[in-house]
Structure 1
């Protein structure tokens, strides 16, 4: 799987975990040079508190387009150490 935004591959892995239709990529498969920490947090009743990253590619930004759960609840332990994408980020097969 690949996550692509603004013509750039942000993440690539054949080891994604799908939860609620979203592919969670291993953190090490995501290009850290494209991530900027965000102050945004949301709460999911069964996954826990999510933190976000803003993507920055070729001078363009996509606020809060990536999210992860630093300490997911037990029911979502399979997404520990993983990052998912939305807001125009294309997730496509290999």
Structure 2
């Protein structure tokens, strides 16, 4: 069953929620990708893989956090979601400080 189309505000809220959970270590990149693909975009693996130009197998591996995807592939699958692969601190305290600094004017 296809999800009800989201408003732009709902899509943004869902994206931010998933990113916050990723940054807290509650979700993996693959889990975030799968959720956003299915729940926000409403696309099957096959349709999304075709859209971003990767094989369905590659997409499946990424969503299961399996395999060893290149940064180019990772960027390709996250681009339609408005995301790109980047460096973030592994230590939660440093990540929290970085987020705090980003909120300051």
Which structure's relative contact order is higher, taking Cα pairs within 8 Å and 6+ residues apart? 1
| Greater fraction of residues in helix | 2
> Larger C-alpha radius of gyration, 1 or 2?
2
Task: Give the TM-score taking structure 2 as reference length.
Answer: 0.28
